[in-house]
Amino acid sequence: MRLIPPEPDFSDGQLAEKAVWDVLKASLPDDVVLVHSVQVRHGRSEHEIDILVLWPGVGLAAIEVKGGLVTNEHGQWFQSGGADGKHKLKDPLAQSQGSQHAFKLWLQDHMGMLLTSRFVYMAAFPYSYVGQDWVKSGNPRNLLLDQDDLKKPAELIRRAIEDEGNGTGPLAMPFLERIIPKLEGNLDQANNDAAGYGEDEDKQDHLTERQKVLLSATRSLPRIRFTGGAGSGKTWLAVEKARELCKSRKRVGLFCYNKGLGMYLSNQVSGWRQAKPAFTGEFHEFVKSLGVPDGEGQDYYDVEMPRILKELAADLPEQEKFDAVIVDEAQDFAPLWWEALRACLKDPDKSEIYAFMDDGQDVYKRWSSDDAIADLLPIHIDENLRNTKKIAETFKDFAGDKFFSRGSTGMAVRMVECATDTALDIASSCIDALIEDGWTNNQIALLTTKTRHPIHLEYSDRNEIGEYWREFHANESEFYGHVLGFKGLERSVVILCVNGFKDMERAAELLYVGLSRARTLLVVVGDTDLIAEAGGTQLRLALSRARQWSP
């Protein structure tokens, strides 16, 4: 016998329905379909058929079940229970008739044709006795099943369908098979790794937003250095701090080093209805906006450019200076940049400064000491909120002793073992394999550790880096980047292509950044020995527990 659902969950208040269900399941023929609790909404009216019988070759029966002792006094139905030992009851057969009628109309809407099979409405009283000679207008006795009738109900239900049912013929099996999917309402989900990832990422976002308590707790402190590991919500906090200061009518500068992160910050503040930062984006773009010429070489950007800015700042009008500056990924700022920024404050000694940084991600190796921000009070953020525990396990050795992951367990990291000189081609093939797994292309980023991916190079060769980052933030396709340019950014799936290192002295920092960019799935492609040489034995151990994958 087909049961819908196969194992109904009868609550304590549905014991009478369970009793009738069990009897019908044991008594009716095997080709009958039994359905429990059919909810019907037609127009604004809502109905429920306690038990629906679909009997091929016979017809349908909608059965309203009433437990307890059912009585009728002077035309009013009652059911045992309540303060007075009984309470009023709607006419059970009229209730069943209303549900039957609503179901027929609903089925007609969804089947595109009238239900012409015989269909009867009935009521069952499993704990009450109704004499065979009982008569009440509008309540035919053969439409009621009492406790005695339910001992052998099959023939009684069949006779009621054939004698009292509306319709012109029996229920045909092909028509029954068309009805069943409407009653089951099967809702299938893709059975792959990509299914259900959104809930975990929403949880990560919720945890990150709870970090706002740090801003509330420190709002009276004018100079703070927020230090935390990857995925601790520093960028989110930097943006929220800017929002808080702008609401206070302060002139704010929100800075970073990387173009990709700068565009992200700009996108975040662009939708604000209230006041926005006076400047948002890359430090050197701010300097150029003041008329400082572009130059060449790292020495120009690290030394000469900030020197010129510092000189210009001395003559800036007061209204063009900042009440507060906020720097995200502050470990990327060279010491002289800090001096130049301080010169752009209305009061270099007292105006507000907030740095959000991770000492472990000093991939540019420009940070020589803490002297440039020695007056900033250190506040430590120890919890990882962005990554799953499986991903966080790969980089926890880089993140410090106090590192703690708050994310969900997540799916296993995937390790694709290959020679370094083949890593780029194999990483590219991972994208197609992941899309076949159910991931969409705009959820995937491929990051390299040495030479750029050819698609990345094309943008650089055409001098279209601005367009390159606009496409990333539009979130329309897969992304090909380098670890250095992806600091502060993230995607659901990251393929970390370890295709070598230009400088082994900063290889560990590159791995730290690359391993921590994925929110849900991390795929590492490369030579485990090289990765362990750069990242250490703990990373080798973590990758040994990864899922070995051949895309």
User: Does 366 have pLDDT greater than 80?
Assistant: no
pLDDT value at position 82?
A: 77
Q: What angle do CA 356, 362, 364 make, to 5 degrees?
A: 120
pLDDT value at position 362?
A: 64
What's the Cα-to-Cα distance from 546 to each of 275, 436, 493, 524, rounded to whole Å?
Answer: 47, 20, 15, 9
d(CA 412, CA 436): 18
Closest of 342, 297, 302 to residue 322, by C-alpha? 342
Cut 0.75: pTM above it = no
170 HSE (CA, 13 A, CB side): 10
d(CA 251, CA 428): 45
pLDDT value at position 196?
A: 63
CB 23 within 8 A of CB 52: no
Please give the mean pLDDT across all residues of the chain.
91
Closest of 359, 332, 354, 325 to residue 232, by C-alpha? 359
d(CA 28, CA 10): 20
The residue count of the chain comes to 551
CB 169 within 8 A of CB 117: yes
Contacts for 180 with CB less than 8 Å, ≥ 6 apart:
2, 4, 33, 54
pLDDT > 70 in the chain, percent: 95
pLDDT value at position 399?
A: 83
Q: How would residue 305 be classed by pLDDT, with cut points 50, 70 and 90?
A: very high
CB 396 within 8 A of CB 387: no
| Token pair in block for residue 474 | 């539009």
Q: How would residue 407 be classed by pLDDT, with cut points 50, 70 and 90?
A: confident
Given strand 144-145, what is the order of strands in its sheet?
A: 2-4, 33-42, 45-55, 59-65, 119-124, 144-145
Closest of 512, 514, 513, 546 to residue 528, by C-alpha? 546
d(CA 537, CA 546): 14
Q: How would residue 192 be classed by pLDDT, with cut points 50, 70 and 90?
A: low
d(CA 164, CA 479): 67
d(CA 277, CA 260): 18
CB 201 within 8 A of CB 194: no
CB 89 within 8 A of CB 66: yes
| Mean predicted confidence (pLDDT) in 127-142 | 93
d(CA 159, CA 416): 68
Closest of 497, 360, 333 to residue 419, by C-alpha? 497
